[in-house]
Chain A
Amino acid sequence: MACLRAGRRRRITLLVALLGIVPVTHAQNADHAELHALVEKGQLDAASERLTRLLAQSPDDPDLLFTRAVIAERSGEGERAVAIYASLIRNHPGRLAPYNNLAIHHARKGDYQAAVAVLEKAMEADPAVATAYANLSAIYAQLASAAYRKALNSSTPLAPLELTALDRLEPAHGVRTRGTPTAVASVENTINRPPRNDTADQEIVLAAADDAIGRTGADPAQVTATTATTEATPEPAQGAVVLAAAPGVIENADEKQALVNQVRDWIEAWAEQDVERYVSHYSTNFVPGDDLSLEEWKQQPYGRPPSRQLVESKPADFGVEMDGDTARVSFPWRLQSGGSLVLRKEDGGWRIVRERI
């Protein structure tokens, strides 16, 4: 039971972290504190006595009822506990602890299906939790996919990662809807990505991320839907976040192929230190960073040699996402992380406007 209590505390802590808010709790008066202390010390008879007195004063207090169920469970009155949990779930569907304990009750009896059903219901009970849970699962699925591709030398492209942002800090009272899927983002090749230290690098990545979540001035031509986010939205700090494809984007295989060919030419020029050819792939709007002007950068454009993974990459390793006149080409960079370029169509050709490597 100690484990169970610890688990509950963790769950609640997790919820607080996920929601980014302090849950509104009823007044934790001294009586409640003493009651919980008795239960934790295992003095169930004394706790029960105290509880009976407190319940006489506030018979509908969910914290007291829950404690009643916990004591009942630990005193071998499982059915009584189940009845209380069920009534708590009915009357306070947004409180998750009763689901948790009810699920454990089912699992102890070997009824794992019922336990899973109750826990799934708990995840659905709070829109923020449900959304966070679904997003977490989606990211895990993406990480799994990236690993599978490596395990099986698969050329099947990664499916776009669809995450759901929330548009309210708290759900409207009594309304039980899920967050609207307002942003579709794609995170690539993040398996084992080390923590990013390079601030300049991060800024380049987050420029796109900021756009996507509408925190900075969004370019309406690029953002399909701005999102009023809550702090609950997982920050896309890791991996490159790409803007959703605009409606009506026509998949153009030839164009994508041409992009891959161009980026491969860029790699080749880089590897061969062919300055003129290398620089020709960049837009006049490219910002080199390090406080260099474009002209200064063109004098000595390579900060470092291309990585082995990049030089040895094959056409199948490239991912291309297009959105009108903007395209993003991703490729292997380090063993376990990728790099990418953002290119824009200028004068009929694609030119690099941002790079992340």
Chain B
Amino acid sequence: MFGLATLAGGSENGTGPGYESTILESVNAIGNADIRGSLSGIENLLDHYPNSKLGYLMMGDLFAARAGRPGLIEHYSRDRLQLEGLRDELGYRWQSGIGGTPAAEGKLPLNLVLSAPMNRHVLVADASVARLYVYENTGAGYRLVDDFFMTIGRKGMVKHVEGDLKTPEGVYFVTSYLPGEGLPARYGPGAFPIDYPNRYDRKLGRTGYGIWIHGTEPENHNRVPLASDGCLSLSNDDFERIRPYISTDGHTPVIIGRSFEWVDPGTLGAANAFAPALVRQWEQDWESLDTDRYLSHYSPAEFEGFESFAANKRAYNRRKTHIDIEIDNLSIYGYPGDQEMLVVTFDMTYHSDDHDSVTRKQQYWKRQDGRWRIVLET
């Protein structure tokens, strides 16, 4: 038997058998030459999930094998994309089910640098394995609490312009919830919009809107891996399962990437220790009133309006005798994709001679020429 450990861990809802675990047990039965067992597993699946296209495909394959006609499907597969999509879906589900993904092996994405306590869960969408992971922020690290097969845009990644049918790559936050009653049926029981385009996307001129995490139309149990308009789509059962992990007040990060760097949990903290230190240094340099040192944290090339920003700071700091800054609820996430970048958010309490304020800050730090510098700040 293969280790289908991660499946058993996923507490699937409903009275019926677990969808994915039933499929994978049937695949497993084929591996053990138990065709009859495999078929009865699929029949059981279809009793509970009569809209499972994948179930029917497997049933067809099993009967075709018994008929000695493995090529029979050619008569019915005019829609190559649908067929390949179903095969890919099974492959992805299987890979994850047998522990063939880094997440299933217990590794963590390097992107999970630091989470404030109110960020109770972090969603990580790994397009390379069509999987959406839910990590719990335990305060002492991260724990994989659930994971789902997911569908992304039918043109894959990375979204650049409106209507390109691609899914964006980046660090996003869930902004709200849209109940299914007010939406077209294809979104299923509801949708969680995310904040694409974020500030970095807008800086790059990326357009489009309405990237959601949502369910599936009623005729389908779920969609194949590449089938949405750019959203992350789950089966409706899985949407109900993920719902309790998502908050709509900006405290659920969603990191979507073409691929991720995975590390052992024990090494995650050390590998990322530099990042909070950067922010602390930035804080200290601001408090020191040494404007040059403070400005050295900003990228003259990429930080928009750097010259006037620098001039203002110099003028402003000359008038101060002290600045006191407190940083709370610091969260830092590594940006997926080609550049080395961090998305930093925190609540800042600012005291100076003549000004007190509490603000929510967000910074994008980028590594350029071996140095980390702020390229965006709000």
Most buried by B among A144, A146, A191: A144
A156-B75, A336-B50 known; A151 and B56 CB under 8 Å? yes
**Which residues of chain B in 13-66 are interfacial with respect to chain A, using CB atoms and an 8 Å cutoff?**
43, 46-47, 50, 53-57, 59-64, 66
**In the complex the two chains form, is A148's CB within 8 Å of B76's CB?**
yes
Query: How many residues does chain A have at the interface if contact means C-beta atoms less than 8 Å apart?
Result: 24
**In the complex the two chains form, is A154's CB within 8 Å of B76's CB?**
yes
A143-B63, A151-B60, A192-B43 known; A156 and B76 CB under 8 Å? yes
Closest to B74 in A: A148
Across-interface contacts of B79 in A (CB, < 8 A): 152-154
- Within the complex, which residue of B43, B62, B64, B75 is in contact with A159, where a contact is CB–CB below 8 Å? B75
A311 within 8 A of B: no
B145 within 8 A of A: no
CB distance from B91 to the nearest CB of A (A): 16
**Which residues of chain A in 127-183 are interfacial with respect to chain B, using CB atoms and an 8 Å cutoff?**
136-141, 143-154, 156, 159
Q: Tell me, in angstroms, the Cα distance from A151 to B51 when the chains sit together.
A: 9
**Which residues of chain A in 97-129 are interfacial with respect to chain B, using CB atoms and an 8 Å cutoff?**
none
**In the complex the two chains form, is B46's CB within 8 Å of A192's CB?**
yes
CB distance from B227 to the nearest CB of A (A): 13
Across-interface contacts of B59 in A (CB, < 8 A): 143-144, 147, 151, 191
Most buried by A among B60, B68, B79: B60
B1 within 8 A of A: no
A143-B63, A192-B43 known; A152 and B76 CB under 8 Å? yes
Closest to A140 in B: B67
**In the complex the two chains form, is B69's CB within 8 Å of A147's CB?**
no
CB distance from A123 to the nearest CB of B (A): 11
- Within the complex, which residue of B43, B46, B61, B82 is in contact with A144, where a contact is CB–CB below 8 Å? B61
**In the complex the two chains form, is A145's CB within 8 Å of B50's CB?**
no
A335 within 8 A of B: yes
Q: Tell me, in angstroms, the Cα distance from A141 to B60 when the chains sit together.
A: 8
**In the complex the two chains form, is B50's CB within 8 Å of A149's CB?**
no
Across-interface contacts of B62 in A (CB, < 8 A): 144
Across-interface contacts of B43 in A (CB, < 8 A): 192
Across-interface contacts of B77 in A (CB, < 8 A): 148, 152, 154
**In the complex the two chains form, is B50's CB within 8 Å of A147's CB?**
no
CB distance from B235 to the nearest CB of A (A): 16
CB distance from A259 to the nearest CB of B (A): 23
**Which residues of chain B in 62-110 are interfacial with respect to chain A, using CB atoms and an 8 Å cutoff?**
62-64, 66-69, 72-73, 75-79, 82-83, 86
Across-interface contacts of B83 in A (CB, < 8 A): 151-152
A137-B68, A154-B78 known; A148 and B46 CB under 8 Å? no
**Which residues of chain B in 151-176 are interfacial with respect to chain A, using CB atoms and an 8 Å cutoff?**
none
**In the complex the two chains form, is B60's CB within 8 Å of A336's CB?**
no
**In the complex the two chains form, is A137's CB within 8 Å of B82's CB?**
no
23 residue pairs bridging A and B, Cβ less than 8 Å apart: A137-B66, A141-B67, A141-B72, A144-B60, A144-B61, A144-B62, A144-B67, A144-B73, A146-B60, A147-B59, A147-B60, A148-B73, A149-B76, A151-B54, A151-B55, A152-B53, A152-B82, A153-B53, A154-B76, A154-B78, A154-B79, A335-B50, A336-B46
Please name the 5 residue pairs, one residue from A and one from B, whose CB atoms are nearest each other, closest first: A144-B63, A147-B60, A140-B67, A151-B56, A141-B67
Residues of B within 8 A of A (CB): 43, 46-47, 50, 53-57, 59-64, 66-69, 72-73, 75-79, 82-83, 86
Add 12 more A-B contacts to A144-B61, A151-B54 (CB < 8 A).
Answer: A140-B69, A141-B64, A143-B59, A144-B69, A144-B73, A147-B56, A147-B57, A151-B59, A151-B83, A152-B53, A152-B76, A153-B79
